[in-house]
Amino acid sequence: MSISLKVAAVERANDLITAFRLVAADGGRLPGWAPGAHIKLSLPLEGGSAQRAYSLMNTDAAADPAAGVAEYRIAVRREDEGRGGSRYLHATVKAGDVLVAAAPKNEFPLTPTDDIVLVAGGIGITPILSMAAALTRLGKRYNAHYSGRSASQLAFVEEFKALAGNSLSLHADDDATSALNIATLLAAYKPTQHIYVCGPKGLIDALLAAARKAGWTDDHLHFELFTEAAAQSGDQPFTLVLAQSGRELTVSADKTILDVLVDAGLDPMFDCKRGECGVCACGVIEGEVDHRDYCLSDAEKASNKTIQTCISRAKCARLVIDM
């Protein structure tokens, strides 16, 4: 279901982050949502229309958005090197414009219990704020950590403080006294506590690895990446062979297998494009996979039989997949 949303207000949160308040273009109520949900906006990008996902924000502990809402609030960090969605929203969209969105979807749901640990990095603050509001409304104990490159890059701090009070710790990378130290953070909690983390891949990878080492099991670790697959230094081009047709394609260092399949006119299945949902899985016939996803188990990765084409690459010059 698509929804027409009118931009009711554009609010600058800091130099990099701008919030948008969106109401139903027909003046009605908007579908309800739960913390962790996002909407996908259709934006005029890439020579056509492209979808970009933005988490829904609520900082009002008195409100439960599940029953339907008068407005959606999203916040967007300008990514000058990104794929254009944030630049478009920052530079072009103004109050009164109409945007088309898909109805809210939740791939990062919160199960409210006591003693949850919330961790936000950068613009990953948006779903975490909604979780803090829900936990506050439900009277659940929780701790929250919000980390950014500098104190000036942290947005919505006063709203977060109003929700979490002394349970909130702020961290700035450029301040040695407050910079987020994952080992110190985890040492303050127990593996029986659920951790919800949203932010850049580096933060999520480091936190998940350290938490697993410290005894957390995967069912107590909940996360959502805020970026799609990004090239890593040292990435090399490789040849992708589609076994069913024998077709050979080149996957350059700055493209994913999925990008290359789509560019070649194929119609592969995908959803999250972050290595989380599992939808883009494809069988591997030959070649070693550089697994970068979060959905295959360690055993599945070790078997080298499946690749998530949206994010994983080849460790070799030629990868043959069952397509």
Binding site for ligand FES (CB under 6 A): 270-273, 275-280, 293, 295, 308, 310
| Sequence-separated contacts (24+) of 200-203 with Cβ below 8 Å | 200/121, 200/122, 200/124, 200/225, 200/226, 200/227, 201/225, 201/227, 201/230, 203/119, 203/121, 203/124, 203/147
135 or 272: CB nearest ligand FES: 272
Distance from C-alpha of 267 to C-alpha of 233, rounded to nearest angstrom? 29
**Residue 32 Cβ, how far from ligand FES at the closest point, in Å?**
25
**Residue 205 Cβ, how far from ligand FES at the closest point, in Å?**
15
Q: What angle separates helix 157-164 from helix 125-137, to the nearest 10 degrees?
A: 30
**Residue 73 near residue 19, CB atoms below 8 Å:** yes
201 or 273: CB nearest ligand FES: 273
277 or 285: CB nearest ligand FES: 277
200 or 268: CB nearest ligand FES: 268
Closest CA to 291 of 266, 319, 264, 249: 319
**Residue 271 Cβ, how far from ligand FES at the closest point, in Å?**
5
Q: CA distances (Å), 180 to each of 19, 36, 144, 290, 314, in order?
A: 25, 23, 12, 29, 33
159 or 293: CB nearest ligand FES: 293
* SS3 of residue 257 by DSSP: helix
- Name the β-bridge partners of 40: 53, 102
**Residue 60 Cβ, how far from ligand FES at the closest point, in Å?**
32
**Residue 152 Cβ, how far from ligand FES at the closest point, in Å?**
34
**Residue 254 Cβ, how far from ligand FES at the closest point, in Å?**
18
Distance from C-alpha of 323 to C-alpha of 309, rounded to nearest angstrom? 11
- Between strands 17-24 and 71-77, the pairing is antiparallel
22 or 258: CB nearest ligand FES: 258
255 or 273: CB nearest ligand FES: 273
**Residue 262 Cβ, how far from ligand FES at the closest point, in Å?**
12
Backbone phi, then psi, for 181, in 5-degree steps?
-115, 110
